[in-house]
Amino acid sequence: MKGYLKYFSNKTAWYLLTLVVAVILNFLLPRLTPGNPVATIASKAVAGMTDANAIQKVYEDYTRMFGLDKSMPEQFLLYISNLFKGDLGVSFSYFPREVSDLIGSAIGWTVALQLPAILVGWFLGNLLGAVAAYIKGPVDKVVFPVFLFISNVPAFGMAIIILFVFGIYLKWFPSSGGYGFDLIPALNMKFILSVIRHYQMPFWSIVLTTIGGQAIGMRSMSIYELNADYVKYSRFLGIKDKVIVKYVFRNAMLPQITGLVLSLGTMVGGALVAEMIFSYPGLGTRILNAVTGQDFPVISGCTLIITVGVLLANLILEILYGLIDPRIKTAQQE
Amino acid sequence: MGKIMLEVNNLKTKYVTRFNESVYAVDNVSLRLEEGESMGIAGESGCGKSTLALSLMGYYFAPLHHIEGSIIVEGKDITKMTPDQVRKTVLGTEISYIPQAAMNALNPTQKIIRFIENVIHAHDPGMPKNRIYEMARDRFEVLNLPEEVLEKYPVELSGGMKQRTVIAISTILSPKVLIADEPSSALDVSSQKMVIKMMRELMKNGFIKSMIFITHELPLLYNVTDDIMVMYAGQIVEKGTAKEMVFDPLHPYSKGLMGSIIVPEAGTRDAKLTAIPGTPPNLKNPPAGCRFAQRCKYAHAACKVQSIEEVRLKDGRMYRCILDQNELKEGKK
Residue A298 resides in a domain: yes
Cβ contact B122–A325 (<8 Å): no
Contact B226, B39 (CB under 8 A): yes
User: Which residues in chain B are closer than 8 Å to A327, comparing Cβ atoms?
Assistant: 108-109, 153, 155
Residues belonging to chain A: 334
Closest CA relative to residue A265, chosen from A210, A312, A304: A312
Q: In terms of CA atoms, which chain A residue is nearest residue B100? A: A229
Contact: B118, A243; criterion CB under 8 Å: yes
List pLDDT tens digits, range B195-237.
Answer: 888 888 899 888 999 999 998 877 778 888 889 999 988 888 8
pLDDT score of B265: 66
| DSSP codes, A2-70 | HHHHHHHHHHHHHHHHHHHHHHHHHHHHHHTSSS-HHHHHHHHHTTT---HHHHHHHHHHHHHHHTTTS
* Cβ of residue A332 closer than 8 Å to a chain B Cβ: no
Is B163 in CB contact (< 8 Å) with chain A?
no
DSSP state of A268: G
- B10 φ/ψ angles, rounded to the nearest 5 degrees: 45, 50
Judge whether residue B319 has pLDDT over 60. yes
Q: Inspect the interface and report whether the beta carbons of A250 and B109 lie closer than 8 Å.
A: yes
Let me know if residue A68 belongs to a domain.
no
Query: A247 — contact with chain B (CB < 8 Å)?
Result: yes
Could you say which of A234, A240, A326 has the minimum Cβ distance to residue B109? A326
- Contact (Cβ atoms closer than 8 angstroms) between residue B183 and residue B98: yes
Sign of the alpha-carbon torsion through B42, B44, B50, B56: negative
Cβ distance of A330 and B155 shorter than 8 Å: yes
- Longest CA–CA span in chain B (Å) reads 67
Rounded to the nearest integer, the mean pLDDT of chain B is 85
* A190 in B contact zone (CB under 8 Å): no
Question: Which pLDDT value is given to residue A233?
Answer: 92
Residue numbers of B between 136 and 155 with CB closer than 8 Å to A: 153, 155
Distance CA B89, CA A245 (A): 21
Determine whether the interchain pair A235/B61 forms a contact, defined as Cβ–Cβ distance below 8 Å: yes
Q: A96: helix, coil or strand?
A: coil
Q: Which candidate, A111, A113, A110, A91, places its Cα nearest to that of A100?
A: A91
What percent of chain B is modeled with pLDDT above 90?
26
Q: How far is A11 from chain B (nearest CA, A)?
A: 23
User: How far apart (Å, rounded) are the C-alpha atoms in residues A278 and A127?
Assistant: 28
**pLDDT given at position B333:** 39
Q: How confident is the model at residue B263 (pLDDT cuts 50, 70, 90)?
A: low
Can you give the pLDDT at residue B332? 46
Residue A63: inside a domain: no
- pLDDT tens across the length of chain A (334 residues): 677 788 888 888 999 999 999 999 988 888 888 877 777 777 777 777 778 888 888 888 888 877 777 888 888 888 888 888 888 888 887 777 888 888 888 888 888 888 999 999 999 999 999 999 988 888 888 888 898 888 888 888 888 888 889 888 888 888 777 777 777 777 788 888 888 888 888 899 889 888 888 999 999 999 999 988 899 899 999 999 899 999 998 899 988 998 888 888 888 776 778 888 888 888 888 888 888 888 888 888 888 888 888 899 888 888 888 888 888 888 877 7
Residue B118 contacts A, CB cutoff 8 Å: yes
A228, A238, A250: residue with CB nearest B122: A238
Q: In angstroms, rounded to a whole number, what is the distance separating the alpha carbons of residues B184 and B163?
A: 8
Interchain CB contact of B88 with A (< 8 Å):
yes
How many folded domains does chain A comprise?
Answer: 1
- In this complex, is the C-beta atom of B174 within 8 Å of any C-beta atom belonging to chain A? no
Cα within 13 Å of Cα(B51), Cβ side:
30
Is A65 an 8 Å CB contact of chain B? no
- Beta-carbon contacts of residue B89 (< 8 Å; ≥ 6 apart): B81, B123
For the stretch B141-164, pLDDT in tens is: 988 899 999 999 998 898 888 988
So what's the pLDDT on residue B118?
94
Q: Is A250 on the interface with B (CB under 8 A)?
A: yes
Question: Under DSSP, is residue A94 helix (H, G, I), strand (E, B) or coil?
Answer: coil
Q: Cα separations (Å) of B44 from A259, B48, B179, B214, B316?
A: 45, 9, 18, 11, 24
Contacts of A230 in chain B (CB under 8 A): 104-108
Interchain CB contact of A236 with B (< 8 Å): yes
Predicted local confidence at residue B267, as pLDDT:
67
**Angle, helices A155-162/A189-226, rounded to nearest 10 degrees:** 130
Residue B179's Cβ-side half-sphere holds a number of Cα atoms within 13 Å equal to 27
Say whether A90 sits in a helix, a strand or coil: strand
User: Touching check for A233 and chain B: CB below 8 Å?
Assistant: yes
Asked if the Cβ–Cβ distance from B156 to A235 is below 8 Å, we say no
The one-character DSSP state at A186 is -
CATH of the domain at A204: 1.10.3720.10
Task: State the pLDDT confidence band at B262, using cuts at 50, 70 and 90.
Answer: low
In contact, A88 and A301? CB cutoff 8 Å:
yes
Q: Scanning every residue of chain B, which has its alpha carbon at the shortest distance from the alpha carbon of A246?
A: B107
The fold adopted by the segment(s) B4-331 is Rossmann fold (3.40.50)
Whether the per-residue pLDDT at B331 is higher than 70: the answer is: no
Distances (CA, A) of B272 to A93, B258, B331: 92, 11, 17
What number of other Cβ atoms are within 10 A of residue A157's Cβ? 14
Judge whether A62 lies within some domain.
no
User: Could B166 and A233 be called an inter-chain contact, meaning their C-beta atoms sit closer than 8 Å?
Assistant: yes
Does A237 lie at the interface with B, CB-CB under 8 angstroms?
Answer: yes
Instruction: Judge whether B107 is closer than 8 Å to chain A, CB to CB.
Output: yes
Contacts of B104 in chain A (CB under 8 A): 228-230
Kindly state whether residue A32 falls inside one of the protein's structural domains.
no
Residue A276 falls within a domain, yes or no?
yes
Question: Between A and B, how many residue pairs show a Cβ–Cβ distance under 8 A?
Answer: 80
Substitution target from A224, A233, A333 for chain B, most B beta carbons within 10 A: A233
Q: Which one of B92, B99, B103 has the shortest CB-CB distance to A232?
A: B99
Structural domain of A209: 104-333
**Is A20 domain-assigned?**
no
Whole-angstrom Cα distance, residue A134 to residue A140?
9
Q: Are residues B118 and A234, on separate chains, in Cβ contact within 8 Å?
A: yes
3-state secondary structure string, chain B?
Answer: CCCEEEEEEEEEEEEECCCCCEEEEEEEEEEEEECCCEEEEECCCCCCHHHHHHHHCCCCCCCEEEEEEEEEECCEEHHHCCHHHHHHHCECCCEEEECCCHHHCCCCCCCHHHHHHHHHHHHCCCCCHHHHHHHHHHHHHHCCCCHHHHHCCHHHCCHHHHHHHHHHHHCCCCCCEEEEECCCCCCCHHHHHHHHHHHHHHHHCCCCCEEEEECCCHHHHHHHCCEEEEEECCEEEEEEEHHHHHHCCCCHHHHHHHHCCCCCCCCCCCCCCCCCCCCCCCCCCCCCCCCCHHHCCCCCCHHHCCCCCCEECCCCCEECCCCCHHHHHHHCC
Helix (H) or strand (E) holding A277: helix A272-277
Is A259 within a domain?
Answer: yes
Mean pLDDT of all residues in B260-288: 74
